[in-house]
Amino acid sequence: MSEILTVTDLCKSFSDQPVVNSVSFGVRESTTLGIVGESGSGKTTLVRSILRAIDPDSGTVRYNSRKGWQDLHSLSPKELLPLRREIQMIFQDPFASLNPRMTVQAILEEPLIIHGIGDKESRKQRVAAMLEKVQLEPSSASRFPHAFSGGQRQRIGIARALILEPRLVICDESVSALDVSVQAQILDLLASLQSELGLTYLFVAHDLRVVREFCDEVLVMYAGNVVEQGPVEEVFNNPQHDYTRLLLSAIPSPDPDEKLEPLARDGLQLEKV
């Protein structure tokens, strides 16, 4: 399978403090790459600069669009617009990411209007079809976001991201604000949409259990650096870096017989990265 995104030597500092330090990786089409790390590890900055919400100091982000490879940071806003259709994002907070003053119909229709897709009638049909895809009632379209639960709102967020038929979807902690049972449903939905539509996910998370279950490959970040990357099973079963070992040792197991014995942070040589 070919790569859809390659990031090379990406660096970004805020007031001389490196937040993302020479990060390189690639994502293969129709797979899921997990990016894990604790708060302050630079994963949000990394993702935002892929989306061009932040301009990196150096490095390149190359995306393999339907029309071939393109360097995202050398494009003008006008040239970027068609790529917006291909790269979409699902946010963390299902409350903050939907405009409370728009109905679900208006929220889902907006991307279509902006990109000049279809007429009023066909847009309505597309919204209805999309709602069905994310398993929401067709009657949801006329309601406002506050009428929905957290999980339902996240489904609306997913519908908005997918209605433009993107190829690469960035999930920025998209399930971490949800209850565990709702989380399981949303992950199921994301997985079934991936196999149906051939989506590629860039999945940012701090919960290693979710990453282990959901991702194909994983990138472990610590203090702006990638400390380890590889297929999920390989990294989780045979971690090479001390930090990955620390993270894994800190997961509380639901089995009371597997005692939680986190490694001592001081004993690890984390400063060397």
Partner 1 sequence: MSELRELSPGRLAWLRFRRHRLAMIAAGVLVVLYLLAMFCEFMSPYTPQQRNARAINAPPMDIRFFDAEGQFHLRPFVYDLELTINPDTWMREYEENTSIAYPIRFFARGEPYEFWGLFEADRHLFSVDPDGSGYIHWFGTDSLGRDMYSRVLYGARVSLSIGVVGVGLTLFLGVLLGGFAGYLGGMFDSAVQRMTEVLQSIPTLPLWMALSAALPAAWSPITTYFGVTIILSLFGWTTLARQVRGRFLAMREEDFVIAARLIGANDTRVIFRHMLPSFTSHIITTATLAVPAMILGETALSFLGIGLRAPVVSWGVLLQQAQNYQVIVMTPWLLLPGAFIVITVIAFNLLGDGLRDAADPYSSLREQ
Partner 2 sequence: MSESLLSIKNLSVEFKTELGKVNALNEVSFDVPRNSITAVVGESGSGKSVTSNAILRLLPDTAQISGEIILNPQGEDPLNITSLDERDPRMQNLRGGLVSMVFQEPMTALSPVHRIGDQVAEAVLCHRDVSPEVAMAEAATMLEQVGLTEVDKKIRMYPFEFSGGMRQRVVIAMALICHPQLLICDEPTTALDVTIQAEILVLIKSLQRKLNNSVLFITHDLGVVAQIADRVVVMYDGQVMESGSVRQVLKNPQHPYTRHLLASIPGAVTDSGSQLHAANWSDGAPIGAGTFLADAEEGRQVREFSQ
Q: Pick the closer one to partner 1 by CB: 98 or 134.
A: 98
CB 190 within 8 A of CB 240: no
* Binders of partner 1 in range 123-152 (CB under 8 A): 143-144, 146-150
* Helices 150-162 & 104-114 angle (0-180, nearest 10): 20
Q: Which does 183 bind (CB under 5 to 8 A by kind): partner 1, partner 2, none?
A: partner 2
Distances (CA, A) of 113 to 103, 108, 226: 15, 10, 39
**Pick 90 or 210: Cβ nearer partner 2:** 210
The packing angle between helices 104-114 and 120-133, to 10°, is 120
Nearest-angstrom CA–CA distance, 32 and 9? 21
Token readout for 75 is 């494009």
User: What's the min distance (Å) between Cβ of 86 and partner 1?
Assistant: 11
Q: Is 88 in the site for partner 1 (CB under 8 A)?
A: yes
State which residue, 23 or 98, has the beta carbon closest to partner 1. 98
Name the helix (H) or strand (E) containing 200: strand 200-205
Q: For residues 143 and 105, give the distance between their C-alpha atoms in angstroms, rounded to a whole number.
A: 8
Between 136 and 218, name the residue whose CB sits nearer to partner 1.
136
Give the contact letters, 106-125, x = binds to partner 1 (CB under 8 A), - = no: ----xx--xx----------
- Contact residues for partner 1 (CB under 8 A)? 51, 53, 81, 84-85, 88-89, 91-93, 95-101, 110-111, 114-115, 143-144, 146-150, 157, 160, 164
